[in-house]
Amino acid sequence: MYRPILLLALLSAGTPLPAQEERKIEILNSEYMEYDASVASGVVKYVGEVAFQQQKMLLSCDSAWYFARENNVLAYGNVHIIQGDTLNLYGDELRYFGNKKFAEMRYNVTLIDKETKLTTDYLDFDLEKNIGYYERHGHIVNGDNTLDSRAGYYYSRSKSLNFRDSVVIVNPDYTIYADTLRYHTVTEIAYFLGPTRIISPDNFIYCENGWYDTRKNISQFNKNAYLESSGQYLRGDSLYYERDNGMGMAFDNVELYDSAQQVILLGKYAIYFEDPEYAMLTDSAVLIQISDEDSLFVHADTLKSVLDSTGQYKILRAYYKVKFHRPDMQGKCDSLAYLESDSVFQLFGDPVLWSKIHQLTAEQMNVHMAFEEPDYIELSNAAFIVSQDDSIRFNQIRGRNMVGHFNENQLSLIDVKGNGQTIWFGRDEGKLIGVNKAESSDIKIYLAEGEVDRVNMISSPSAILYPPDDLPEQELYLSGFSWLEEHRPRTKQDIFRWVQH
């Protein structure tokens, strides 16, 4: 039996030792020892409650070979290393290189450092730098989080871990799959350094760079980042997300896609709430309503998507300098709303609508859609419809209110309700034959291919057909006439062009 006298170590503590002597491994305890020349010269075998010390490192095991010349230890059975006040390393087998203070722990390896527990079968640990790493899979428990990866580094001093290859973090609320990840055990913040997926029952997140505060559930995602939630898809150059509040923000090249409405919102800044569902986009904001035939493009300073009072249907709103384009219809106004419940576009603030050859204006317009095509349009207060006859003549319809009915995306019937007035230029095989000027409280106007086919004066009618040159020029225009063709967005790029009037 060999029990070294610890007093010798205490007596020698006051005498400075050379650096090589400072790293010398000391035997503290053993129940049995023997020299075995067959292994190597100067090799000692220790058995039973074996304990070694090197500076602040303590090593215990069931049995060990000590190579005095090389200053190395081979330890077996219940191997335990204590480093400082917090780090404990356990395993079945150990190769310890004293001169480098380097440990190779094998089989059933466990590293415990305060709240962090790492298990693996192969762990190398540099006790000089307090860095451990594995390359054959490791499992870590830290608070509510478990982390797995094929390879990883643990930095004891900074309390951080670097993982690579098949990284998985499991939290009660979500699971993270990553290629490369850094995790800080004190702050519980995960940093993503490669393709990363975050999956939960409520949403899916992807990014290739960013961070996630697992304690506060706050995150920042960069590089090809996007979030999917309840049929919504949000992406941008960077995303900020607060899981507990269900709030996300996106910056630059923002895209929000609503699969239920087949609507895409674009902009440079967006904010999004999951419950109640709300989204706002600004800066070069664009709404695209996807259609198999003709998609609608809307531009405004600000776009919003909110739930109506029932909480079942969405309302899309566009504010300030609104312009929209689809091949069969274009328009402009100060603000616009789309009511999902009724499939109605509402236009406010000097609205103008162009449909084929017709220009429609009023104080407010409601465009009712059916199967993604215009069904009918309500023009309220100071309703006016104009179409160009030639370079100086315009066909005009004016009334208090109007309803325009569409057939195959063209106006086919116009109901004028109150103070109806018309100016129409009659032609025969293209030749101008007269100017029809009529008034009636209510008027029904039937059109074919955009041209007036039949006019019914409903109440108190009066109509005069003037020869082409008998009316003075000022009589060729109804009160409130305005031709706004220069404002018309004929292409989807024109929705960004704003002309004051």
Check residue 4 and give its pLDDT.
Answer: 38
Instruction: Give the pLDDT of the chain (501 residues) as one tens digit per residue.
Output: 333 323 323 333 344 445 455 679 999 999 998 876 666 667 899 999 999 999 889 999 999 999 988 999 999 999 999 988 888 999 999 999 999 999 999 999 999 988 889 999 999 999 989 899 999 899 999 888 899 999 999 888 888 889 989 999 998 888 999 999 998 988 889 899 999 999 998 889 999 999 989 889 899 999 889 888 878 888 899 999 898 888 989 999 999 888 877 889 899 999 988 888 888 999 889 999 888 778 899 999 999 989 988 888 889 999 999 999 998 899 999 999 999 899 999 999 999 999 888 999 999 999 998 888 889 999 999 999 999 988 888 999 999 999 999 988 888 999 999 999 999 888 888 788 889 899 999 999 998 887 788 888 887 788 888 887 887 888 889 999 999 999 999 999 999 987 665
Quote the DSSP letter at residue 344. Answer: E
**What is the rounded CA–CA span in Å between residue 107 and residue 90?**
9
- 153 is written with which tokens? 């580094």
CATH superfamily placement of domain 1-118: Lipopolysaccharide (LPS) transport protein A like domain (2.60.450.10)
| 282: three-class secondary structure by DSSP | strand
For residues 114 and 489, what is the distance between their CA atoms, to the nearest angstrom?
A: 65
CA distances to 122, 135, 163, 171, 257 from 150, in Å:
11, 6, 8, 19, 36
- CA dist 409 and 490 (Å) reads 16
Q: Where are the domains of the chain?
A: 1-118, 345-501
Question: What's the pLDDT at 36?
Answer: 66
Euclidean distance between CA atoms 31 and 370, whole angstroms: 92
Predicted structure pTM score: 0.74
Q: How far apart are CA 388 and CA 447, in angstroms?
A: 15
Residues 6+ apart with CB under 8 A from 463: 436, 437, 438, 439, 440, 457
Count CA atoms within 13 Å of residue 365 on its CB side.
Answer: 28
Residues 6+ apart with CB under 8 A from 451: none
For residue 213, the model assigns a pLDDT of 93
Determine how many CB atoms are found less than 10 A away from the CB of residue 402: 25
CA pair distance 404, 231, nearest whole angstrom = 35
DSSP 30: B
Question: Any long-range contacts for 6-10 (C-beta under 8 Å, 24+ apart)?
Answer: 9/53
**Closest by Cα among 414, 366, 425, 422 to 398:** 422
Asked if 1-118 and 345-501 have one fold, the answer is yes
The closest alpha carbon to 255, from 269, 235, 238, belongs to 235
Burial category of 467 from C-beta neighbours within 10 Å (exposed 0-12, middle 13-18, buried 19 and up) = exposed
CA–CA separation, 134 and 153 (whole Å):
7
As beta bridge partners, residue 232 has 229, 258
Sign of the Cα pseudo-torsion (112, 117, 120, 122, in order): negative
Could you tell me if residue 126 is left (phi over 0), alpha (psi between -120 and 50 degrees) or otherwise beta? beta
CA torsion, points 388, 436, 351, 343, in degrees to nearest 10?
-100
Specify the 3-state DSSP secondary structure of 149.
strand
What CATH number belongs to 345-501?
2.60.450.10
Predicted local confidence at residue 115, as pLDDT: 81
Task: Please report, as a single letter, which amino acid is at residue 305.
Answer: S
Which residues on adjacent β-strands are paired with residue 347? 336, 365
